[in-house]
């Protein structure tokens, strides 16, 4: 099993969700986060006072999938989250040791 | 007196005991029987609550949105408490000090302490001979003006002022600055009134007064901790836009209400309050579009307030097209002060009370002298002298700046010596909502 963590532009969320649902991914966790990468921040000006905003708002998605689905899921996220502009985000993939569904106690593949 | 000289001075000629008067002099009573018009009265009651709406929630939200979220409630609280305290002071002695019937040039006297002698039959004069409104309505209308002026000042030292010090300052300031200046400008015995200055709805009394006190205050208090280093961007431009728009709506009570009657004069003030504001919004947006290629909502809201401030003294005597130009000029001057002058000198007039109310008020007061000219669409008579009137307007501005500047400095120093003006650095860092008021505006 793999845990895919994707940091994306907030307005691409629905596109990513649709792409993943199409693959049969059953669940997705979304967190509002802030951060910076190559895009750096931006500048806001209020009546002449300039503020450098170093951390930009992004969404962090966490998706647990069976190993054979991981490559397709990564591709689906890449395609659906991409705008081609700087700041589209990143995908991190890790091995996942164990999954438990709290309600039933099912484990691993049955719990996904 | 020039026919266009519509300062609300005649307001103070409260006509009381009409029955007694007519019994003594029936002939006089026949020639000028004062009448109260229910339409005028209803309009003035609406205007009065419109001005309250400017403060709560209009100004409170406009300012509140501009501070960081940790100081939101402190600003709402300051506006609310100032309003309540000044209302109480107004009926106890404020109305008397400003409009108490005294003949001094700077002081209305003690004649109407606790509104002594005012009954439901008491009437106040309007600008039309023989037309009166209930004195209670006039008192309430003027009360809202007294309340909004110190509330405007708080924008200069938000996020760091000690609440107790602010309340003490406001009590002293209305007593030694607002009431005397209101008397000077609007009372028939007042010094500035008798110079012949035009201040229809309070450009000097409200806006220059507030702007100068704000400038003095922010210099004496000093900058917010972290200014220039921390992100002090407005926490809710949405609420700021809502508040600014409420101010615009309420301003019709402020300006058109200052006509005291629901007639053509009120209608002129009303259309000017539309057109000057529109001109000012467009001017600010164009300046930003040209200078930084992105016209901002805060810019448009700032232009809105700048235009409203500028048209305040002029609303009753200039024309609607001249008002567009006046608004645009004021907006440009205010932009220059908030975006250039403030940055250059480094004073922390946090929400630009001086930059918008002070500067806009001065431009408006001077501009009133210019745009009242009949050739520029104003209501001045054929013998109107732009130079002459503008000189008088400038005199009124200088007197207000000096009176307010000197008195405010002394009052801030007194309050500083007794209470201290600022919260400590730790409280400032936590934010005034928690450290001064024990509550938070937002959770989760």
User: Averaged over B278-284, what is the pLDDT?
Assistant: 98
pLDDT, tens digit (0-9, with 9 covering 90-100), for B40-84: 999 999 999 999 999 999 999 999 999 999 999 999 999 999 999
> Which helix (H) or strand (E) element contains residue B201?
none
Please answer whether residues B363 and B330 qualify as being in contact, where contact means their C-beta atoms are separated by less than 8 angstroms: yes
Smallest CA–CA distance from A44 into chain B, residue: B233
User: What pLDDT shows up at residue B20?
Assistant: 38
Question: Contacts of residue B231 in chain A, CB cutoff 8 Å?
Answer: 51, 53
Q: Say how far apart CA B30 and CA A100 lie, in whole Å.
A: 97
Q: How far apart are CA B185 and CA B192, in angstroms?
A: 5
pLDDT of residue B22: 39
DSSP letters for B395-434: HHHHHHHHHHHHHHHHHHHHHHHHT-SB--HHHHHH-HHH
Chain B residues near residue A49 by CB distance under 8 angstroms: 232, 343
> How much is the pLDDT for B21?
40
How does strand A2-8 pair with strand A89-95? antiparallel
Statement: residue B4 has pLDDT above 50: no
Q: What is the 3-state secondary structure (H, E, C) of B335-396?
A: HHHHHHHHHHHCCCCCCCHHHHHHHHHHHHHHHHHHHCCHHHCCCCCCCCCHHHHHHHHHHH
* pLDDT tens per residue, range B247-257: 999 999 999 99
Task: Name A31's bridge partners.
Answer: A60
Q: State how far residue A10 is from chain B, nearest Cα, in angstroms.
A: 20
Backbone angles phi, psi at A63, to 5 degrees: -135, 125
Supply the pLDDT for residue B32.
60
Chain B residues in contact with A53 (beta carbon < 8 A) = 231
| ipTM of the modeled complex | 0.77
> Is the minimum CB–CB distance between A46 and chain B shorter than 8 Å?
yes
Dist CA B428 CA B430 (whole Å): 6
The model's confidence at residue B13, banded by pLDDT at 50, 70 and 90, is very low
The predicted structure's pLDDT at residue B31 = 55
Kindly list the distances between the CA atom of residue B214 and the CA atoms of A26, B93, B244, B404, in Å, as whole numbers in the listed order.
59, 24, 19, 10
pLDDT over 80 (residue B113):
yes
Joined together, the tokens standing for residue B176 give 């030694």
pTM: 0.88
- What's the confidence (pLDDT) of residue A48? 83
CB-based contact A46 B298, cutoff 8 Å = yes
Residues of A in contact with B299 (CB under 8 A): 47
Choice between B270 and A41, residue whose per-residue pLDDT is larger = B270
The DSSP secondary-structure symbol of B223 reads P
Closest residue in B to A52 (Cα) is B231
Please, what is the Cα angle at A87 between A29 and B298, to 5 degrees?
Answer: 95
Q: DSSP 3-state assignment of B112?
A: coil
Contact check, Cβ <8 Å, B231/A53: yes
Judge residue B386's burial from the number of C-beta atoms within 10 Å of its C-beta, 0-12 exposed, 13-18 middle, 19 or more buried. middle
Rg (CA), chain B: 21
**In this predicted structure, what is the pLDDT of residue A26?**
87
From the list A45, A51, A53, the residue facing B292 with the nearest CB is: A45
User: In angstroms, rounded to a whole number, what is the distance separating the alpha carbons of residues A63 and A77?
Assistant: 10
Q: How is residue A6 annotated by DSSP? A: E
CA B323 to mean position of chain CA atoms: 18
Q: What is the mean pLDDT of residues B273-285?
A: 98
In whole angstroms, give the CA distance from residue B412 to residue B166. 9
Spell out the residues 6+ positions from residue B123 whose beta carbon is closer than 8 angstroms to its own. Answer: B14, B15, B16, B18, B34, B36, B132, B133, B134, B135
Q: Which residue is it, tokens 């979304």?
A: A30
Report the range of poorest mean pLDDT among A23-27, B263-267, B284-288, B433-437. A23-27
Is the Cβ of A55 closer than 8 Å to some Cβ of chain B?
Answer: no
Does residue B250 contact residue B123 with C-beta atoms inside 8 Å?
no
Whether residue B225 is predicted with pLDDT greater than 60 in this model: the reply is yes
Give the Cα separation of B304 and B336 in Å (integer).
15
pLDDT of residue A13: 97
In tens, the pLDDT along B149-172 reads 999 999 999 999 999 999 999 999
- Whole-number pLDDT of residue A41: 84
Helix, strand or coil, per DSSP, at residue B304:
helix
Strand order through the sheet with B131-134: B35-36, B131-134, B123-125
Least confident interval from A35-39, B339-343, B402-406:
A35-39
SS3 content of chain B, % helix, strand, coil (to 5): 70, 5, 30
SS3 B140: helix
The residue length of chain B stands at: 444
- Interface contact A51-B342, CB threshold 8 A: no
Mean of per-residue pLDDT scores for chain B: 93
Instruction: Pick the closest to residue B5 from B205, B130, B185, B177 (CA basis).
Output: B185
For residue A44, list chain B residues with Cβ-Cβ distance below 8 A: 233
What pLDDT does residue B127 have? 94
In the stretch 16-45 of chain A, residues with CB closer than 8 A to chain B read 44-45
Give per-residue pLDDT as tens, A5-64.
999 999 999 999 999 999 999 899 999 999 999 888 888 999 988 898 889 999 999 999
Q: How confident is the model at residue B29 (pLDDT cuts 50, 70, 90)?
A: very low
The structure tokens 């520029």 sit at B376
């Amino acid at each position: 099993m793999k845990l895919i963590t994707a940091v994306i532009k907030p307005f691409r969320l629905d596109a990513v969700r649709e792409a993943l649902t199409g693959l049969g991914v059953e669940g997705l966790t979304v967190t509002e986060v802030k951060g910076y990468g190559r895009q750096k921040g931006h500048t806001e000006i209020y009546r002449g006072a300039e503020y450098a905003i170093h951390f930009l708002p992004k969404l962090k998605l966490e998706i647990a999938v069976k190993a054979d689905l991981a490559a397709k899921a990564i591709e689906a996220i890449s395609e659906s989250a991409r705008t081609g502009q700087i700041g589209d985000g990143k995908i991190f993939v890790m091995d996942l040791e164990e999954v438990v569904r709290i309600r039933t106690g099912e484990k691993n593949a049955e719990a996904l | 007196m020039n026919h266009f000289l519509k300062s609300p001075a005649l307001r103070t000629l409260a006509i009381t005991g009409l029955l007694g008067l007519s019994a003594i002099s029936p002939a006089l009573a026949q020639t000028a029987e004062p009448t109260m018009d229910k339409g005028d009265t209803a309009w003035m009651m609406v205007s009065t609550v419109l001005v309250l709406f400017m403060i709560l929630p209009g100004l409170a939200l406009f300012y509140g949105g501009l501070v960081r979220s940790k100081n939101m409630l402190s600003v709402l609280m300051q506006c609310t408490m100032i309003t309540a305290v000044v209302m109480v002071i107004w009926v106890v002695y404020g109305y008397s000090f400003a409009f108490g019937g005294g003949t001094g040039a700077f002081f209305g006297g003690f004649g109407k302490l606790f509104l002594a002698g005012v009954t439901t039959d008491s009437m106040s004069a309007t600008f039309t001979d023989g037309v009166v409104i209930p004195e209670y309505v006039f008192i309430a209308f003027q009360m809202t003006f007294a309340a909004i002026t110190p509330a405007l000042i708080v924008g200069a030292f938000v996020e760091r002022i000690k609440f107790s010090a602010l309340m003490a300052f406001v009590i002293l300031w209305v007593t030694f600055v607002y009431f005397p200046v209101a008397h000077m400008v609007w009372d028939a015995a007042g010094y500035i009134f008798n110079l012949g200055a035009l201040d229809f709805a309070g450009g000097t009394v409200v806006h220059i007064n507030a702007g100068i006190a704000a400038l003095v205050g922010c210099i004496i208090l000093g900058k917010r901790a972290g200014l220039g280093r921390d992100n002090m961007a407005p926490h809710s431009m949405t609420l700021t836009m809502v508040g600014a728009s409420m101010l615009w709506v309420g301003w019709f009570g402020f300006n058109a209400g200052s006509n005291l009657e629901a007639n053509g004069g009120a209608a002129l003030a009303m259309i000017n309050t539309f057109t000057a504001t529109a001109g000012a919004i467009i001017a600010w947006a164009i300046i930003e579009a040209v200078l930084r290629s992105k016209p901002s909502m805060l810019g448009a809201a700032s232009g809105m307030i700048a235009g409203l401030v500028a048209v305040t003294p002029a609303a009753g005597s200039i024309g609607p097209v001249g008002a567009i130009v006046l608004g645009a000029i004021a907006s440009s001057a205010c932009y220059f002060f908030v975006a250039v002058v403030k940055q250059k000198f480094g004073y922390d007039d946090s929400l630009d009370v001086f930059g918008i109310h002070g500067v806009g008020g001065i431009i408006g007061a001077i501009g009133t002298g210019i745009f009242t000219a009949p050739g520029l669409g104003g209501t001045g008579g054929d013998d109107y002298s732009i130079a002459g009137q503008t000189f008088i307007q400038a005199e009124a501005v200088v007197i207000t700046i000096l009176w307010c500047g000197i008195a405010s400095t002394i009052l801030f120093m007194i309050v500083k010596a007794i209470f201290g003006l600022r919260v400590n650095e730790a409280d400032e860092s936590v934010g005034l909502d928690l450290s001064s008021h024990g509550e938070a505006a937002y959770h989760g």
